[in-house]
Every structure is written in structure tokens, then in C-alpha cells.
Amino acid sequence: MKQLLVALIAGSLFGAGLAFSGMADPARVQGFLDLFGRWDPTLAFVMGGAMTPMAIAWIIQRRLEKPFAGEQFSLPGTTLIDRKLTIGAVLFGTGWGISGLCPGPGFADLAINPLPALAFVAALLAGMIAHRVTS
Amino acid sequence: MLAAFPHAMPLEGLIGGLMIGVAAAVMLLGLGRIAGVSGLAARATGIADSGTPRGIAIAFIIGVPLGALLISLITGGIETRFPPSVIPLVIGGLLVGYGTRLGSGCTSGHGVCGMSRLSPRSLIATAIFMASGFVTVALMRAGGFL
């Protein structure tokens, strides 16, 4: 129960941050990717702002035996840089550019602009299912 | 320098970014998990069989629109300028869904969490999806789609 509450609070703060930073606005995200148009650097500030507490969190994490509200750390240990990683990133970046959306803003916008957000999220989940059934 | 980009929101970006980073830090230090939205979404919907416990994934994913709604209510509404047609949303969604599963992460998992960990895998993935996004939008501009 405590774990669910922590996750709900984290998710809410995450969604709040997306909305406050302008990242729930597909045109603004696309503006960052639009180097030859009216370039909008906002996304770079969001990344910088987000990576700062996380960089500190990683330093703290190394000194902890277990998380504050969990039994153990379950973190990715893969270091492999393979075709899956690179092709996956190319496809993701292409879809990101076409729509101006990545998964976080897609879910955040379900509460702000439900109809187009739902079209994106439904396609997102369909793409995930397509990956699952083909691999 | 920012005077050249009057439409940018550097302060809101920085503050919102800090909120995102603290949220990811709560997931890491509180629950020992990566706040990667693509992975959590796959887990919450049951598309992925393993990873973060399903309840935690569902709680996080439900929180994302709730938090966005709260900000929208407090600030009197936030701008969400979607593409005018459903076609780029569907094509984009399919590519983002397939690509983030194949590449094991998106802007939050690889970008925020992995890069701040200095994970070479995440640094490469982020460089590639950013470059891919830049090229895609440049091609859309050249093709008259923007």
C-alpha cells in the first residue's frame, strides 16, 4: 500500500513537471527538434533540470543497501549496445518527431486534451503489442 | 542568448524539469526502480511480463495525467497544440511504441535516468533518438509538412 502511494505521488509529480515545463505541448517539443525552423530550446532546460536531482540520486543510491520503501534495487544492468538499441532509438526518434510526443506527455495529455492524446496512446500501445508479438 | 528565442520558457522548463527529476529520484530511492514511462506503461497494461511490480507501474501511470491535470487547474489551463490530423498521431504512436520496446526506453528512462547515471547504453540511445528526431522534423519541414 505504501509502495503504491509512493508510485502514485512520483507519477503525479512527474506529470505535473511535464505540464508545467511545457513538455505536454506537442508543438513545443517539435519546436525543439525543428533546428531549421523557429527553434525552441525549452526542452534542453527541462532535461538539465531533470538530470540534476537524478545525478544526486544516483550518488545517494550507491551508498544505500536498499530503497527507503522497497526490498531491493532492481536496476538495468545491461551494457550491450546492439542493433536492437540503435534501431529502436531511430524508430522512437522518428515517431517523436512526427507527432511531437513521447510516452510521458502522451499519458499526461489524456487529462488535458483527451481525444488526440487517446489516439496517440492507443497507437503507442498497439506499437508495443506489435513488438511483443514479433519478438 | 535567450532573447533570440522569445517563445522559449527557460524558467518553467527548469522548474518543471526539477519536478520530473525529483519524481524520478523518488522512484529510484523510494522503490528502487527506474522511472521510465515506456517500460512502466508496458508493465501497467500487461504488455510486458516482467519488470516493475504491476501495481507500482499502474499507480505511477495513473499519477501522470493526474499531476498534469492539477497543474492545468492551478495555472488556468496549459497549452497542448497537437498535430491538426490524427495521421501523425497514429504513425508517431506506433513508431514510439515499437521503438521504445525494441530500444528498451524513451526520453525518461534513457534520457533522464540513464544519462544522469552516465550509462553508455542510454547516452548512445539518447543521442540516436535525438538525432533521429532532428532529421525527421527537418525532412517534414523540407517536405512542407510543417
Q: Is residue B116 part of a domain?
A: yes
Total of domains in chain B: 1
Residues B78, B143: Cα–Cα separation, whole Å: 30
Angle at alpha carbon of residue A116, lines to A12 and B60, rounded to 5°: 20
Query: Within a domain: residue B1?
Result: no
In a domain, B2, yes or no: no
Helices (H), chain B: 10-26, 37-44, 54-75, 86-102, 115-116, 120-142
A78 CA: distance to closest CA in chain B (Å): 8
pTM strictly above 0.90: yes
Q: What does the alpha-carbon distance between residue A18 and residue A12 come to, in Å, rounded to a whole number?
A: 10
* Residue ranges of chain B with per-residue pLDDT less than 70: 1-2
Residue B53 lies inside a defined structural domain of this protein: yes
- Domain of B13 in residue numbering reads as 8-142
Residues of chain A contacting B141 with CB distance shorter than 8 Å? 34, 36-37
ipTM: 0.97
Would you call B101 and A85 a contact, using CB atoms and an 8 Å cutoff?
Answer: no
> What is the pLDDT at residue A86?
98
**Chain A contact present for B67, CB below 8 A:** yes
Residue numbers in A near B76 (CB within 8 A): none
What is the structure's pLDDT at A78?
A: 87
**A103: which residues sit within 8 A by CB, 6+ positions away?**
A124, B37, B38, B41, B96, B100, B106, B107, B108
| pLDDT tens track for A72-105 | 999 998 889 999 999 999 999 999 999 999 999 9
For residue B3, tell me if it sits in a domain: no
